[in-house]
Amino acid sequence: MPTKSGLIDPAEAAVLLVDHQSGLLQIINHVNPRELRNNVATLAKAATLSDVPVIATASVPEGPNGPLLPEIFANAPKATYVRRQGQINAWDAEGFRHAVAQTGRRTLIIAGIMTSVCVVEPALSALAEGYDVYAVIDASGTYSDEAQRVSTDRMIQAGVKVVDVLGVAAEFQRTWIRDDAMDWAGVYAGVSPGYGAVIESVMRAQAEATGGEGAAAENKWAEARGRLV
């Protein structure tokens, strides 16, 4: 159920990753495929760090749609995988609905390889069954900017909340005062290379100030190889 603040409560959420497959990735045109699969991996990692259940499903992975992107299981090793028997709408698969119900979570964070099909259909179906539904738009793609726009508009009009990967991650994380803070820094760096550069700069400054391992890194590298001039 929605929180009073309107923010995602990770204790009530589950992440659903629908048909992120290598064959289908090739028809995505509105966004760089590398960026899309990176965002999917980041979403899976953020869920894992937050103990948010991940449910993945694929459409005929043994056929031209291709296998599920390996980044999903690499970043969500405890994910549940649901086999489908040809259903286009993942929500039409009894096993998928059962897996969602088994989590006990009522807030669904959905991303899919094709926004107009893999996200819109299960999102509207889950919404109709009383779930609080979020669509992660930058972990979902389609074949044109227009298709992405009309799919997004349709979901918003129906009551689905459209979000982005970093927004979801921040609501999952809640605070930097936690033991895995550096893992979370990696989450943000995964989506924003600029943020990664900021982290590198901060860590170097800290090393120089404290005489830590990273201090004078270039000199140490060259000295170790006899190449310091």
> Which residues are known catalytic residues?
118
Question: Using an 8 Å Cβ cutoff, are 63 and 22 in contact?
Answer: no
Between β-strands 80-83 and 161-163, what pairing exists: parallel, antiparallel or unpaired? unpaired
Question: Using an 8 Å Cβ cutoff, are 112 and 118 in contact?
Answer: yes
Q: Token pair of 82, please?
A: 């649901």
The residue with tokens 């979000």 is 163
List the strands of the sheet with 132-136, edge to edge: 80-83, 54-58, 13-18, 107-112, 132-136, 161-163
Q: How far apart are CA 93 and CA 76, in angstroms?
A: 22
